[in-house]
Amino acid sequence: MNDLLHLAWQGFRQKSKLTSLMIANLVIGITLLLTMGTIIAQSGQSAISHKLDQLHHISLNFMDAEFDRRNAFRTPPLTYRDTQALTQAYQQDDIELENLSFSYTTSFVLDVEDDTARPMDATSSAVDNAFFPMMQIPFLYGAAWGDDMSEEAIIVLDKKANDHLFAGQNSVGKRVVINNQLLEVVGVVDLSSHTYRFQNISFSNRENDLAFVPLGYAINHNLPRVGYMPCMTKEEPARPSYRQSDINGLKTAECGFIHAWAEVSLLNSDEQLGNLTLWLRNYTKQQASQGRFTHLESYYVQSLRLFHDTIYGFMDWERVYLNFAYLLFAITLVNTVGILLAKNQHRAKLVSLYRALGANRAYIIQIQIIELFIAASIAIILGLVGAQIGLYVMYLLALYQMDYVGVADQVLKLYSMDMLFALKAAGAIYLTIIIAGLFPIIKASRIAPASQLRG
């Protein structure tokens, strides 16, 4: 084996210009392929990818007949009255689900009592306690609040807010100030793995929630509603007041602001979805007698997979670049074959000498495969380095396109190398290069010693 490695290394060092050209050629193809492949792979991943078929967004189309949703991401949230009806049906077991969660997007200024930290504007969510296990939010400290605490003055902070306000220490039991109200911290979560803000179906990759407050507390204390909040035509003029102040009017208004997510079990998913759909159909028919739900499609039950597939469908340019990367890598493989043929032509006499000294074809093939493996290893390592640089450049371009209003850490997640993906890609590239190099290697092993050693 030592002889094989020594001869392969000697062959690798011969014709160094051709070897360098082959490696540089491979590095270009590998860099582009890993860069674009990583972006596509990261964009298609989610912290809860394993639950894409279990989580479903529920919507009722209460809007006037002349208005309808524009796309899956503009499906209207639930009104307060419809939320109450759905909650009651779930609590009375009229709907069988694994879990049901409600939330709405809000915003407030986070501060501490002793002014030891600068206040921060926090885009947040008002949620129920079912939200945390359903979305598998990882807790660093503390835990979610209980069923009987939905109206209490408590809060869960994200790690970023906790780092800013409490220097990253365990802040459970401490208090923060929002809207001149004191709230006790009951938990700290880490949302760094959640690259998309999916609970309000915005799927924003610019920012994530900095805090979570109980839904009951948020409604009782009139925390503002932000984000997509459609109303019927007759309610449209009052929408600004419904957003900020008129919570009592909002409770009876035809304005949607609460997002509902249903989780079905893996074993009974079809049965539970059918049961939910039947209830929504019966409810909208019953409400239609009161002049509501005038659309042909009066309700929507959309899986998280549908949203992810829709996001992936928006990546037309990225897929074009990825296809171009595949094409370029194929061209580099063709160039590699040509360079190997040129190297073998120059060392034909050396191969003939090995054959004349008793080396069989299998031995010659082993030497050249090891030599190609060395070259491929160097090319892949340099390609990984190049891909890291390429991803960072793409990250800077993404921030530039966002006018630098995106949260850098959140955007960076989409342009970070996934090591598991990199290892799989490196293995596939190794195999592809070896397969592509077999033709010149086998051809070289067939050289007849007499044809090169005469005279």
The 3 state secondary structure assigned to 309-373 is: HHHHHCCHHHHHHHHHHHHHHHHHHHHHHHHHHHHHHHCHHHHHHHHHCCCCHHHHHHHHHHHHH
- For residues 278 and 376, membership in a common domain is answered with no
Q: How far apart are CA 310 and CA 178, in angstroms?
A: 36
CA distances from 255 to 115, 228, 237, 247, 252 (A): 38, 10, 11, 11, 9
Of 263, 297, 331, the position where a domain reaches its end is 297
Cβ-contact 36, 321 below 8 angstroms: yes
Q: Is residue 388 part of a domain?
A: yes
Of 297, 324, 356, the position where a domain reaches its end is 297
Q: Is residue 309 part of a domain?
A: no
Q: Is residue 307 part of a domain?
A: no
- For residues 281 and 343, membership in a common domain is answered with no
- For residues 189 and 291, membership in a common domain is answered with yes
Q: Is residue 303 part of a domain?
A: no
Range of the domain at 23: 2-46+315-449
Q: Is residue 302 part of a domain?
A: no
- For residues 221 and 122, membership in a common domain is answered with yes
Q: Is residue 57 part of a domain?
A: no
- For residues 92 and 38, membership in a common domain is answered with no
- For residues 328 and 293, membership in a common domain is answered with no
Cα–Cα nearest to 90, from 288, 307, 283: 283
Q: Is residue 439 part of a domain?
A: yes
Q: What's the total number of domains in the chain?
A: 2
- For residues 134 and 254, membership in a common domain is answered with yes
- For residues 153 and 266, membership in a common domain is answered with yes
Per-residue pLDDT of the chain (455 residues; tens, 9 = 90+): 566 676 667 666 677 788 888 888 888 888 888 888 887 777 666 677 788 889 999 999 988 877 776 666 778 899 999 999 999 999 998 999 999 999 999 999 999 988 788 998 888 999 999 999 998 889 999 999 988 888 999 999 999 899 999 999 999 999 999 988 999 999 999 887 777 777 778 777 667 889 999 999 999 999 999 888 888 777 888 888 988 888 998 998 999 999 999 999 988 889 999 999 999 999 999 998 888 888 888 899 999 888 877 776 666 666 777 788 888 888 888 888 887 777 766 665 555 555 555 555 666 667 777 878 888 888 889 989 998 998 888 888 877 776 655 667 777 777 788 777 788 888 888 888 888 777 766 665 565 555 555 54
Residues 6+ apart with CB under 8 A from 39: 318, 391, 394, 414, 415
pLDDT at 382: 92
- For residues 255 and 382, membership in a common domain is answered with no
- For residues 256 and 320, membership in a common domain is answered with no
Cβ-contact 13, 375 below 8 angstroms: no
- For residues 242 and 388, membership in a common domain is answered with no
Of 297, 323, 357, the position where a domain reaches its end is 297
- For residues 214 and 140, membership in a common domain is answered with yes
Residues 6+ apart with CB under 8 A from 430: 373, 376, 377, 380
In sign, the C-alpha dihedral spanning 183, 186, 192, 197 is: negative
Q: Is residue 53 part of a domain?
A: no
